[in-house]
Amino acid sequence: MRGIIAIIAAVFMSFNGKAQDVHFTMFHVAPTVINPAAAGVFDGTFRAAANFKTQWGSISNPYNTFSFTGEGALFKNKGRNAHMGVALNAYRDVAGTTNFGTTKINLSVSSILYMNDNNTASIGLTGGWAQRTIAPGNLQWDSQFDGQAYDPFLPTNENYAFENSSHFDFSAGAMWAYGTSASNIASFNKTTAHVGFAYHHLARPELRSYYGSSEKLYSRIAIHADLHYASGYSKLGLRPRLTAFFQGPAREINIGMMFRYLINEGSKYTGNVQGFAISAGGYYRIGDAISPSIEIELAGFSLGYAYDLNTSGLTVASRGRGGSEIYLKFQNPNPFFRFSRRPSIR
């Protein structure tokens, strides 16, 4: 029975895979994948992050997703009312026996305007190149069963033409960010927030299928928001987060709450003492999974881990084991410094 359910689930996911893009549980780590307007909108000049996610390994060959993002803020100083952001993201998503996968490289550019000491507005564009690949040699067919065992040298008697395909892709977005510094040198009540909207696959690129026909990729709408809030002299901060994606018949809504505790504030200006904080909480991907999560911040580095506990109809086969996700991020200068009065999103 588990095997039958797994086959049905695999077919279901294959039909929905053409409608829904790659996704992460800790979606905030690669913000330009969600919205190109987020490029360069952070309290620093450079940051980089790597994500790895694996899922459905308990019922079949797992879906594995790798992502790397490098991001910089250009022409950023207090003498300017605007600056630029640029980000390069590359990801590889591989799934199933045939290693069906998507490789994509995106370059995002944004323009960021300081409206006042607490608010910025930004717009951004992304241009990308993507390739879909498959390894059909791993497939097994009924005609290759000789009556006793599988024989890979027997003909498949199948009429198909599996080919790799590639396309160019474009996205656009806008974002508002708000930020305040701590009210005094002893307090911890720095607040940041952002809200954004993005439209992906502007030209709806045409994808060739593996059976001779073609299909257009659905456009995707992304809406996102998050907040970092701590009151007065409390070292405990709240980080609620939300993303919502709508793409053709598919949708994904992910809400989360992380509780951050500042263990060591670090040097306020010199950086001689390293800051240290830990966050715990989780995310809920509506109709799909609950994901307990933990994040550790040390100076300019942060490390996070989440585990998806499946809550959908696939639970019968997966026994609730959705998959793991881990990320590593670096930011420069050290985000524990309190030198900036400009708003940031992280």
Where along the chain do its domains lie? 2-332
Joined together, the tokens standing for residue 342 give: 């400009």
Query: How far is Cα 238 from Cα 224, in angstroms, rounded to an integer?
Result: 17
Rounded to 5 degrees, φ, ψ at 189 are -90, 45
Q: Which residues of the chain have pLDDT under 70?
A: 1-20, 56-60, 78-79, 138, 158-162, 183-187, 208-214, 266-273, 313-321, 337-346
How many residues are recorded in the chain? 346
CB 63 within 8 A of CB 95: yes
How high is the pLDDT of residue 94?
86
DSSP assignment of 265-297 equals ---SSS--S--EEEEEEEEEETTTEEEEEEEEE
pLDDT computed for residue 320 by the predictor? 63
Dihedrals φ, ψ of 188, to 5°? Answer: -125, 20
| CA–CA separation, 77 and 75 (whole Å) | 6
**Position of tokens 């474009």?**
170
Residue 333: asked if its preceding bond is cis (omega within 30°), the reply is yes
Q: What is the pLDDT of residue 51?
A: 94
Q: How many CB atoms lie within 10 A of CB 214?
A: 9
Please name the fold of domain 2-332.
Porin (2.40.160)
Nearest to 137 by CA among 101, 98, 100: 98
User: Both tokens of residue 165?
Assistant: 């395909």
* Single-letter code of the amino acid located at 151: D
**What pLDDT score was predicted for residue 255?**
95
Is the separation of the CB atoms in 39 and 46 below 8 Å?
A: no
Indicate the Cα dihedral angle 143, 145, 146, 150, nearest 10°: 140
Reduce the DSSP state of residue 295 to 3 states and report it: strand
> What token pair was written down for 239?
């980080």
pLDDT for 329 equals: 96
